[in-house]
Amino acid sequence: MKKLAILGATGSIGASTLSVCRANPDLYQITLLAASSSVNKMFLLCQEFTPLYVSMSDKKSRLRLTVLLKQVNSPCQLLDNEEQLLQLLASNEVDSVMAAIVGGAGLKTTLAAVEAGKEIFLANKEALVMSGALFIEAVLKSGAKLWPVDSEHNAIYQALSSTLQNSIGACDLQGQGVAKILLTGSGGPFLEKKLADFKAITPAQAVKHPNWSMGQKISIDSATMMNKGLEYIEARWLFNARVDQLQVVIHPQSVIHSMVQYKDGSVIAQMGNPDMRVPIAHVMGGGSRIDSGVAPFDFFSGVNLNFAKPDFNRYPCLKLAIDACYQGQHATTTLNAVNEVAVEAFLNNQIKFTQISQLVERVLNSRETQQINSIEHLLQIDSESKAAARQLIKRDLLC
Ligand code: NAD
Ligand code: MG
């Protein structure tokens, strides 16, 4: 049995991962469950899965969980701090890591597992977007096996030759006959909404994705299509793709999860019901097919498959992300940082839906081009960009 650590265990990806574990009880022993502050959920998970170790990044939550675990004489050991968590991830008590913390908060832990050469199931796209070349360099240096969990990247991975699958981070797409990676996206809940009504969009409307059930941040990112922009940057790094090798295609039904177009005209698509347990089962099975618990796709249900070009007037965040991808690391780090602040502010009713892209653009335009060659420098840009964004919100300087 392989020893699995699940980072972000109480979230949406965490729940799907644990569901695949339930369906395949002989594959993994759960060494660690880590999360932020959902104590009650974590307590239930500890009782069901009895991980050797548990980590809660929020101090109050850690103390509450300590009491609860004591009351039931649980053998689960609570880690005291982040240092212990990073050490555990690098130790031989862990073989595989599901990286599913949301946002830049997942960078340190994911990188620690990468640097220790572990098998990484990468859901936390923000970590890769934030650190790009540094992340990929660490993967290539340590020999860590990086599996894409994001449904689009997992679909692309499945549609690639084994030569390319074995060179994640350093793919020679052209040499293997790949003409284009076609990254599909549903367009989210506002694909048909009048642009004039965008200002009045509420958080409750924006979190309701038509096809996927996900955490709050990625649901808002899907509504603005910043998610597709982050995925574009993610694809650029995972598959070493050039600008002319990446294209976003709107596909409202989310049946095709992405495609690879080859130079002979063949297009290979991966399809199925939109459920994250499918790509999770794919990576957890090491590419072999295991049970995911997902119903087979019904071709006779009357669903039609449509495709369209994205409209950047509707999705300015997508354009900002694609441009940032080619401006360099400082731009993608800033884009990701400001987007995190903007999404939180929108969810707290501090800014309007349309101000998410304005905020990202304003801060991006205000920052100088910088060469980034260390994680410390990158984290500094992340916090400066966040501070600049918070200032703009506080001083009400958006239109
Ligand atoms: P979520 O909000 O449902 O869960 C986030 C998890 O991260 C929770 O367990 C939370 O406790 C934990 N967390 C947050 N901050 C933390 C911290 N500082 N330390 C430790 N744990 C922390 O999010 P989600 O939808 O499961 O998404 C997780 C990641 O997977 C994101 O990066 C997202 O982009 C990516 N992803 C999600 C989906 C999806 O369908 N949900 C699909 C593709 C990729
Ligand atoms: Mg995705």
- The DSSP string of 72-90 is TT--PEEP-SHHHHHHHHH
- 193 Cβ partners below 8 Å, 6+ apart? 201
**pLDDT tens digits for 199-248?**
999 999 999 999 989 999 999 999 999 999 999 999 999 999 998 999 99
Does the beta carbon of 347 lie inside 6 Å of ligand 1?
no
Which residues of the chain carry a pLDDT beneath 70? 397, 399
To test ligand 1's pocket by mutation, which of 45, 86, 101, 110 has the most ligand atoms within 8 angstroms of CB? Answer: 101
Report the distance separating Cα 158 and Cα 105, nearest Å: 28
CA of 195 to the centre of ligand 1 (A): 30
Report the distance separating Cα 297 and Cα 109, nearest Å: 35
Long-range contacts of 138-144 (CB under 8 A, 24+ apart): 138/111, 138/114, 139/114, 139/168, 139/169, 140/169, 140/170, 142/114, 142/115, 142/116, 142/117, 143/117, 144/113, 144/114, 144/115, 144/116, 144/117, 144/118, 144/119, 144/120
The per-residue pLDDT for 381 is: 96
Which domains are delineated in the chain? 2-148 (3.40.50.720), 173-273+304-395 (1.10.1740.10)
Does the beta carbon of 54 lie inside 6 Å of ligand 1?
no
The per-residue pLDDT for 27 is: 97
**pLDDT tens digits for 124-160?**
999 999 999 999 999 999 999 999 999 999 999 999 9
The per-residue pLDDT for 169 is: 98
Report the distance separating Cα 137 and Cα 120, nearest Å: 15
The per-residue pLDDT for 373 is: 87
> Locate tokens 């699940």: which residue?
6
The per-residue pLDDT for 399 is: 66
Q: What is the DSSP string of 337-389?
A: HHHHHHHHHHHTTSS-TTHHHHHHHHHHHHSPP----SHHHHHHHHHHHHHHH
The per-residue pLDDT for 395 is: 86
The per-residue pLDDT for 396 is: 77
CA of 7 to the centre of ligand 1 (A): 8
Q: State which residues have CB under 5 angstroms from ligand 2, the bound ion.
A: 150-152
| DSSP 3-state of 229 | helix
Report the distance separating Cα 150 and Cα 231, nearest Å: 8
**Bridge partners of 364?**
none
Number of other residues whose CB lies within 10 A of the CB of residue 174: 13
**Bridge partners of 119?**
96, 145
0.85 exceeded by the pTM? Answer: yes
The per-residue pLDDT for 330 is: 96
